[in-house]
């Protein structure tokens, strides 16, 4: 008899989308799955989804990921720089991740994982699966024009959200039978007023269209948040974590039915 616990059951994969501080909702989703006894066999993440996914793939459990999320502050992960390629650097994010996880390579991870980035010269999707995970996470989170791009293997890489903000297809490539996709963008739901809100609506549309079609996931968990504040304010972390956990818990019967 095989001792491999994955033999004879469907492989579960997580596709974690980008969305700045909204990524706190990913923490809630992971906690809900863990509490339900649903093992995650592979993960692909974009932008903040790459950060949360990589921390979990490195071996931290749901409670430890939660502790990291509650402690992390913007000044822990960024610093202003002379604006040649961006206004801030995520070098501190790279160091922060390495410190929290022990600076693993992809080969060291407990769960197969991929980080989605984009090549600044060509605009093509670049999926990172080798080398230092901390560097890959930093590249995947580097919002163009705001955060400096990151050199990896001779290429300048930027936030993967510009090419694939919900990497469902990447999770399929990792071997998932059941893909759970967590999206962090949604339309405003009404006609926004004022230039800032209209501009924010346009950003939401771009983020939605940049990802794989949510219908290609087996389970899509759209997190119902909207507005610039939810992308940048870490003060909402408790609400976002609870929201992600609640949305995932509501979908547990659907997920369990697919696994059975």
Indicate the SS3 state at residue 173.
Answer: helix
Indicate the SS3 state at residue 130.
Answer: coil
Nearest residue to 54 via CA among 11, 119, 102, 126: 102
Instruction: Give CA separation, 135 vs 90, 99, 117, in Å.
Output: 10, 13, 11
Do 17 and 165 form a contact (C-beta atoms < 8 A)? yes
The residue annotated as part of the active site, out of 47, 50, 140, 169, is 47
Measured distance CA(39)–CA(206) in Å, rounded: 32
Measured distance CA(106)–CA(37) in Å, rounded: 25
**β 12-16/178-183 pair status:** parallel
The residue annotated as part of the active site, out of 50, 142, 159, 218, is 159
251 included as an active-site residue: no
- DSSP letter at 217 equals S
119 included as an active-site residue: no
Do 106 and 131 form a contact (C-beta atoms < 8 A)? yes
Nearest residue to 58 via CA among 118, 136, 5, 119: 136
Residues carrying an active site annotation: 47, 159
């Amino acid at each position: 008899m095989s001792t491999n616990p994955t033999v004879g059951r469907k492989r579960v994969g997580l596709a974690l989308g980008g969305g700045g501080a909204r990524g706190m909702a990913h923490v809630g989703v992971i906690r809900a799955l863990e509490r339900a006894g649903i093992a995650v066999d592979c993960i692909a993440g974009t932008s903040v989804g790459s950060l949360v996914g990589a921390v979990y793939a490195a071996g931290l459990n749901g409670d430890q990921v939660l502790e990291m999320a509650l402690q992390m502050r913007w000044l822990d992960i960024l610093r202003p720089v002379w604006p040649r390629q961006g206004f801030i650097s995520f070098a501190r994010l790279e160091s922060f991740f390495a410190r929290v996880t022990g600076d693993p390579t992809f080969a060291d991870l407990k769960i197969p994982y991929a980080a989605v980035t984009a090549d600044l010269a060509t605009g093509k999707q670049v999926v990172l699966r080798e080398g230092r995970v901390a560097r890959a996470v930093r590249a995947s989170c580097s919002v163009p024009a705001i955060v400096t791009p990151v050199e990896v293997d001779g290429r300048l890489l930027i936030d993967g959200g510009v090419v694939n903000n919900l990497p469902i297809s990447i999770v399929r490539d990792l071997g998932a039978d059941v893909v759970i996709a967590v999206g962090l963008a949604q339309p405003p739901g009404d006609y926004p007023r004022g230039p800032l809100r209209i501009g924010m609506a346009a950003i939401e549309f771009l983020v939605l269209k940049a990802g794989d079609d949510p219908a290609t996931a087996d389970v899509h968990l759209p997190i119902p948040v909207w507005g610039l504040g939810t992308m940048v304010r870490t003060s909402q972390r408790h609400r976002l974590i609870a929201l992600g956990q609640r949305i995932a818990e509501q979908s547990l019967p659907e997920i369990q039915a697919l696994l059975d």
